[in-house]
Amino acid sequence: MLLEVAGLKKSFGSIIVADDLDLHVAAGEAVGIIGPNGAGKTTLFNMIAGGLSPGAGHIRFDGRDLAGVPPQGRCRSGIGRTHQIPQPFEKLTVFENLLVGAVYGRRTSEREAVQSCGEILERLGLLRRANALAGSLTLLERKRLEMARALATAPRVLLLDEIAGGLTEGECSELVATIREIRRTGVAILWIEHVVHALLAVIDRLVVLNFGRKIAEGAPREVMQLPEVHQIYIGIEA
Amino acid sequence: MDDNAARPTQAFRIETASRASRAAAAAACIVLLVLVLLPLVAGRNLVQDLIFLFYMLALAQCWNLLAGYAGLISVGQQAFVGLGGYLLFALTLLGGVNPLLAIPIAGVVSALFAFPTALIVFRLRGAYFAIGSWVVAEVYRLVFAQFKPLGGGTGTSLTPAVTSSVPGIESIKALLDLRTPAARDIVSYWVALALMTATLGFVYLVLRSRRGLALGAIRDHEAAASGLGVDVYRIKLAVYVATAAVTGMIGALIYLQKARISPDAAFSVLDWTAYVIFIVVIGGIGTMEGPVIGAIIFYLMQRYLADFGAWYLILLGTLAILIMLFAPKGLWGLLSERYDVTLFSTRRRLVVDGKNGRA
């Protein structure tokens, strides 16, 4: 198993955000996570990426326990992530943003990293903007940059946090095509998303979280039909 | 997207220096040459003024690297100015070391002191780090005030034997037909110029290196930088220790020039940190050009307004507030935004080979 979360617990005061959570992602697999706001989805990502330490439980990546490994170490071992609100290095150019990921996340020299960074930019449709300041990008471009920068670190699993939120229908389907393409290169995907139809176009398996608990898991279309999932999602999306 | 992937991949390459930055480098060489030759024709007042400008600029570059890039808002850099100054006095007066040799030694020892200091103050974040660094500087001051061989709380002076033992003074005296104090100023001027140029070169090389890439990332978004594999703590520590070394050397030079030291002056938060912050903020924090512009403005204000006493400080504060309110990126920020210029280019441009022009 590439990524394995076992018995994860976390609470902020009296608010429980992870309650004995188990989750796994196999190499090359695409797993989706849905759940209402406050279900603990982003917190789960923060614990996997190392920004936040769990109250109890284990996170293993490629068989190795990640307890005590700082965020930079997790990135270098192959965990890439994007943020719900893009966090570009605004005064660096788009290309330099990728270079940071390539040089530090993959431990290569700038010169060796150039070719792969260029190819990623081309693949994500950002080549035209390569030498523009990241602070000048539109929302869609910023979301693409989040992905491109994470890809520059050559991840084996990519954590996507609501990457489709706030985009138009057309932008969203472009993004889905990009993510499918990334998947084809063998990168495993763990994707939190409210835009369910985007998610369903990519993932193999769907996990539903509520109050830090896994309430359903399985084949995406079947899970979406479950009454308890329906109940949570009434009024959000069918 | 899919048809993009089907296209044969292009070859990419990285380009660092732009034509404008090459022109700026050539201009910088000419300015440097003029500055080197200046004391041969300039009067003693101008030489002394420029020494002051050079070391304030060097201090500002260090503080900018610390605060503008590494996010370490230190209000305690006077700790290393004072330490460097006192080390120069200790080495020359008590140890009999030649003053010019004492300057690099002061740098090394400052770095050695900075390391344990960092282990303490790095446990604090944001505003607490700022206050903590100030408190540490006060501790340094109080410790040196206890050191009786160097005059304790009242301080001490360099003996003429030490100040005139700087190599080169005799030959300058003979060459330019000057008296000892004037010749001493000229040697100090050249040392200050060398130290400032070296500081600028050092900061520039750091920013051009892979560490500079990480520093730019840390400046813009620290958490995102560590998520992309940057060891933020290690880079901050390296920057803190390196700037302490340079600051210590500048401190040693300042007090070689002043020839008189006391704990209150050497560890003065106003002289060695508040003014330096003023320079960086009005010039433009997080850029290399900002501190250069800020230092020149500060020098001009000091030169022409210092006679107004308290009004001078009030004016200085007002200017700083106005710039923070209306041009938070500083004067250089205003200029570079309007005209899209950089003098010290650290940009890495992606170039697609086989196509003409921009990627």
pLDDT for position A70: 94
Using pLDDT thresholds of 50, 70 and 90, give the confidence band for residue B310: confident
Nearest to A90 by CA among A51, A140, A145: A145
| Mean pLDDT, residues A198-204 | 92
Closest Cβ–Cβ partner in A89, A92, A153 for B229: A153
For B263-300, the pLDDT digits (tens) are 999 999 989 999 999 999 999 999 899 999 999 999 99
pLDDT digits (tens, 9 = 90+) for A72-120: 999 999 999 999 999 999 999 999 999 999 999 998 888 889 999 999 9
Which pLDDT score, from 0 to 100, does residue B150 have? 84
HSE value, Cβ hemisphere, 13 Å, CA-based, for B278: 25
**B358 lies in some domain:** no
- pLDDT at position B36: 92
The answer to the question of residue B4 being in a domain is no
How many domains does chain B contain in total? 1
CA distance, residue A98 to nearest chain B CA (Å): 9
Residue B332 pLDDT exceeds 60: yes
Does position A229 have pLDDT exceeding 80, yes or no? yes
B228 touching chain A per CB within 8 A: yes
Domain membership of residue B357 (yes or no) is no
B219 interaction partners in chain A (CB closer than 8 Å): 89, 91
pLDDT of residue B298: 93
Domain that holds residue B212: 12-352
* Residue A94 host element (H or E): helix A94-100
Residue B125 counted as domain residue: yes
Q: Do B213 and A95 touch (CB under 8 A)?
A: no
CATH number at residue B296: 1.10.3470
> Which chain B residue lies closest to A151 (C-alpha atoms)?
B228
Separation in Å, CA B117 to CA A29, A68, A115, B37, B111? 48, 25, 42, 40, 10
Nearest C-alpha of chain A: how many angstroms from B47?
38
- pLDDT above 50: residue B3: no
**pLDDT score recorded for residue B313:** 85
Give the pair of three-digit tokens for residue B342: 């950089």
Nearest C-alpha neighbor of B118 from the set B79, B163, B145: B79
Q: How far apart are CA A84 and CA A165, in angstroms?
A: 8
Choose the weakest-confidence range: B50-64, B65-79, B158-172: B158-172
φ/ψ of A10, rounded to 5, equals: -160, 135
- Respond yes or no on whether ipTM tops 0.85: yes
Which residue from B210, B228, B359 is facing A131, i.e. has the nearest CB?
A: B359
Q: Min CA distance, B11 vs chain A (Å)?
A: 7
Average pLDDT, chain B: 88
Residue B100 class from Cβ within 10 Å (0-12 exposed, 13-18 middle, 19+ buried)?
middle
Which amino acid would we find at residue A163?
I
B59 pLDDT band (50/70/90 cuts)? Answer: very high
Across the interface, whether the CB atoms of A114 and B347 are under 8 A apart is answered no
A128 vs B contacts (CB less than 8 Å): 359
**How far, in whole angstroms, is CA A137 from its chain's centroid?**
20
**Does B330 reside within a domain?**
yes
- pLDDT (0 to 100) of residue A234: 61
Q: What is the pLDDT of residues B210-229, one digit of tens each?
A: 999 999 999 999 999 999 99
Contacts of B214 in chain A (CB under 8 A): 100, 103-104
pLDDT number for residue A28: 92
**A1-72+190-238: which CATH architecture?**
3-Layer(aba) Sandwich (3.40)
Task: Select the more confidently predicted residue: B234 or A166.
Answer: B234
Q: Do A106 and A67 meet the contact criterion of CB atoms below 8 Å apart?
A: no
| B140 vs B18, higher pLDDT | B140
Q: Whole-angstrom Cα distance, residue B90 to residue B77?
A: 20
Q: What pLDDT does B2 receive? A: 44
Residue with tokens 């284990």: A58
Task: Select the residue of B9, B13, B228 nearest A101 (Cβ to Cβ).
Answer: B228
Of the pLDDT bands very low, low, confident and very high (cuts 50, 70, 90), residue A227 is confident
Mean pLDDT for B137-142 is 94
B226 touches chain A (CB under 8 A): yes
Cβ-defined contact of A125 to B4 (cutoff 8 Å): yes
| Shortest distance, CA A43 to any CA of chain B (angstroms) | 15
The pLDDT confidence band at residue B40, using thresholds 50, 70 and 90, is: confident
Q: Is B148 on the interface with A (CB under 8 A)?
A: no
What's the average model confidence in pLDDT over A47-58? 92
